[in-house]
Chains A and B, each alone.
Chain A
């Protein structure tokens, strides 16, 4: 109450920036990038082991590395970065002071300590239980304790975000409604609350079970509740990443949403229906009825998918509208050709949008279809799908935003701009390969989380087709490319933060100024037509429909069962 809030004025944007918020954004972003590096390295080791010609790690280290990979990138990197996004979307975008910076620091330290404890538990070798830690397989107690600490920290961080929204409203730091990007971040934070609640409901009893205080955890119940956390946390990513899809074109091109109403309603669909989506992890479990599966996995008739499909049009649509306003109005696609492809923030964001839709999105809906899941469950198709969502989608979007945070928040120029320029393409190429080849191998039946698909040590053998081995090799090569892309990112970020030229008040960076004159009125009714986007969405939709029915055909070829 008595501490004075200190602000600086951003020389580029003229925004008031709360120094406390800025420090927290920096800390969370740096922690995120460190865990991305660690988790990415484990991922590379996993991919090199699954490359049959290399087969790098012994079995125990492989399962250990796979557990650490999942935890560090799927949980720690992403949630730390999301904390940075929440503070940015609240304090910075609303020109407000941050509520309770001390609570923000408590959150940060709890998350950091929790993440370290769990990593130590995994590295000690007695907790190679995979990211999902399905019971009755048991990890060391501090494995669960670390995750619980991390989650509670994240919950406190969400509280700081909500508090900041309240303060900004009361102190009238903005007029009217919160910006769309903040609305997206709010969506992410709301989903985070019920996600973390689900996590507490399942992980606290599991922790007590590992201490022998609770005698039994039902494995099916564990799986159902765990996924209420495990899948919903991916929806936090989804909301945060879509918020970034709106933010980057706004910052780089001055893009406006086509329609505030439509985009916000699409976010609202996430809050209302995404939680149900976690049911698609239980499609081939015993003891769950088809009615329950169909209702829930159709995400209450695909209403959450509808939200994503809407963003899939409105995000590129707003880019097209902004580009046409800037004069790139020739033909169908001049706006796209003349987009700032050399800007890693824009390139990363657009690649994230396209790859998420085509790789992660379509495959996710197919995978989540009750009967089709029979031919995909727990095969490599599953990691193929979620590397399309979480890596090509979320991670690439977060990387793209980082290229804007470095000048805006860290006040440094990007070191090695040419490396930064190619980084999103290199990473996207690698991840595209990882996603496609794993899905390909999965379609051929190759199991996920498996050390040796030659079954050399097994009493009864089985031979996968040669194509499956080819896919695994190509997956390994793609993983090397993605790792190089990830390394380039980390080098640019760490190099820029430590050695980048400081941006002072006297050196405002050049930035395209959106000219509002081409269109007088904001809003859909006044927007220019977006024929290019309509064509792109048409291509996407055609691919979606074809791929969906092809998989029903595959399903029809397996043994009849009922």
Chain B
């Protein structure tokens, strides 16, 4: 029994029964398939998170974001600047208590270098309803190249708990057809 010592003292020499052996082999091979699937997707898949990130400070990051906002703001929406940056440019999104700042306006099927960092605590970038989810840290600037392939209005929900105003932290991204 499993609650008594093994009946045979030399239990490690017993032959293993066929059903068990087959399952061990199948499970091991499946593990290998899942391992290589991730590597395969780096070559063949379109959705791979970038490895590009930089150390930064809230001040330095905030200044870069502000420069972009000053240059490319096109209008105001509910008190937020709406920024329409050039195609292919560096776009900065600021996460802070309890806002995603500013509102971004991107063009469909164009690539942008999206930078994200936090000014204070941890935040979670959750692009909805697309459902892309990233962790945002203070002091780290994540850079990823995105290519919005749908037009419309998208929400950026904060999905990392960041204090009492967490549930009010919603941002916005517009994706517009190429003019």
Contact B140 A220 (CB under 8 A): yes
Number of interface residues of B (CB under 8 A): 91
Chain B residues with CB under 8 A of A298: 31, 34-35, 38
- Choice from A310, A369, A455 contacting B37 with Cβ under 8 Å: A369
Residue-wise, chain A 501-544 has the 8 Å CB interface mask toward B (1 for contact) of: 00000000000001000000011110101100110010001001
A137 touches B163 (CB 8 A): yes
Expressed in whole angstroms, the minimum distance between the Cβ of A61 and any Cβ of chain B is: 11
15 contacts between A and B (CB under 8 A): A136-B120, A137-B121, A137-B163, A174-B5, A177-B11, A261-B16, A286-B142, A298-B35, A305-B27, A375-B133, A379-B133, A445-B131, A447-B159, A450-B167, A562-B145
Instruction: Scan A250-288; emit 1 where CB is below 8 A from any B CB, else 0.
Output: 110011111111100000000000000000001111111
Cβ of B179 within 8 Å of any chain A Cβ, yes or no, is no
Choose, from A79-87, A326-334, A352-360, A550-558, the stretch at the interface.
A550-558
What is the bound-complex CA distance between A220 and B3, given in angstroms? 43
| Chain B minimum-CB-distance residue to A180 | B2
Contact with A374, one of B116, B120, B133 (Cβ below 8 angstroms): B133
State which residues 140-171 of B face A: CB under 8 Å.
140-142, 144-150, 155, 157-164, 166-171
Tell me if A249 is interfacial: C-beta within 8 Å of chain B: yes
Which A residues are in CB contact (< 8 Å) with B127? 559
User: Total number of A-B contacts with CB less than 8 angstroms?
Assistant: 318
Closest to B24 in A: A310
Interface contact A559-B140, CB-CB below 8 Å = no
Query: Measured between alpha carbons, how far is A544 from B16 in the docked complex, in Å?
Result: 25
Write out the residue numbers on chain A whose beta carbons fall within 8 Å of the beta carbon of B24: 262, 306, 310
User: Does A115 sit within 8 A of B, measured CB to CB?
Assistant: no
Segment with Cβ contacts to A, from B47-55, B66-74, B83-91 = B47-55
B14 and A459 contact, CB distance less than 8 A: no
Known: A294-B38, A376-B133, A522-B8. 19 other contacts (CB 8 A): A175-B9, A180-B6, A246-B2, A247-B3, A286-B137, A287-B53, A298-B31, A305-B27, A306-B28, A371-B47, A379-B126, A445-B126, A451-B167, A458-B168, A459-B170, A514-B1, A524-B20, A558-B132, A562-B48
Q: Which residues of A contact B48 (CB under 8 A)?
A: 290, 371, 561-562
Of B12, B16, B129, the contact of A524 (CB 8 Å cutoff): B16
State which of B9, B14, B45, B136 has its C-beta within 8 Å of the C-beta of A177.
B9
Whether A525 contacts B14 by the Cβ 8 Å rule is: yes
Given A371-B47, A377-B133, A462-B128, check contact A306 B31 (CB 8 Å): yes
Interface of B, secondary structure class, is: mixed
Stretch at the interface among A20-28, A311-319, A410-418, A470-478: A311-319
CA distance A451 to B49 in the complex (A): 29
Q: How far is the CB of A220 from chain B (nearest CB, A)?
A: 5
**Given A371-B47, A523-B14, A561-B50: A259 in contact with B126 (beta carbons within 8 A):** no
In the assembled complex, the CB of B163 is this many whole angstroms from the nearest CB of chain A, namely 7
Given A365-B34, A460-B170: A524 in contact with B23 (beta carbons within 8 A): no
B41 (CB) vs chain A CBs: closest residue: A371
In the assembled complex, the Cα of A287 lies from the Cα of B55 at a distance in Å of 9
A560 touches B157 (CB 8 A): no
A552 touches B28 (CB 8 A): no
In the complex, which residues of chain A have a beta carbon less than 8 angstroms from the beta carbon of B27? 305-306, 309-310
Q: Which range contains the number of A residues in contact with the other chain?
A: 35 or more
Known: A179-B2, A318-B2, A374-B132. A303 touches B31 (CB 8 A): yes
Q: Does B60 contact A (CB under 8 A)?
A: no
User: In whole angstroms, how far apart are the Cα atoms of A464 and B145 in the complex?
Assistant: 26
B 89-132 to A, binary, CB cutoff 8 A, 1 in contact else 0: 00000000001000100000000000011001110101111111
Contact of A301 with B31 at beta-carbon distance under 8 Å, contacts A175-B5, A247-B3, A529-B19 already known = yes
**Selected contact of A455 from candidates B132, B142, B168, CB within 8 Å:** B168
A469: CB under 8 A from chain B? no
Minimum distance in angstroms from B32 CB to a CB of chain A: 6
B residues near A, CB below 8 A? Answer: 1-9, 11-12, 14-17, 19-20, 23-24, 26-28, 30-32, 34-35, 37-39, 41-42, 45-51, 53, 78-80, 99, 103, 116-117, 120-122, 124, 126-142, 144-150, 155, 157-164, 166-172
Q: Which residues of chain A come closer than 8 Å to B42, judged between CB atoms? A: 290
Residues of B close to A137: CB separation below 8 A: 121-122, 162-163
* In contact, A451 and B4 (Cβ under 8 angstroms): no
A313 touching B23 in the complex, CB below 8 Å, given contacts A250-B3, A302-B34: yes
A161 at the interface (CB under 8 A from B): no
Residue A18 interfacial (CB < 8 Å): no
CA distance A422 to B140 in the complex (A): 52
User: Is the beta-carbon distance between B157 and A249 smaller than 8 angstroms?
Assistant: no
* Residue in B5, B138, B139, B149 whose beta carbon sits within 8 Å of that of A179 in the complex: B5
Question: Shortest distance in angstroms between B50's beta carbon and chain A's nearest beta carbon?
Answer: 6
CA distance A365 to B31 in the complex (A): 10
Is B130 a contact partner of A559 (Cβ separation < 8 A)? yes
Contact of A375 among B20, B116, B131 (CB under 8 A): B131
A14 at the interface (CB under 8 A from B): no
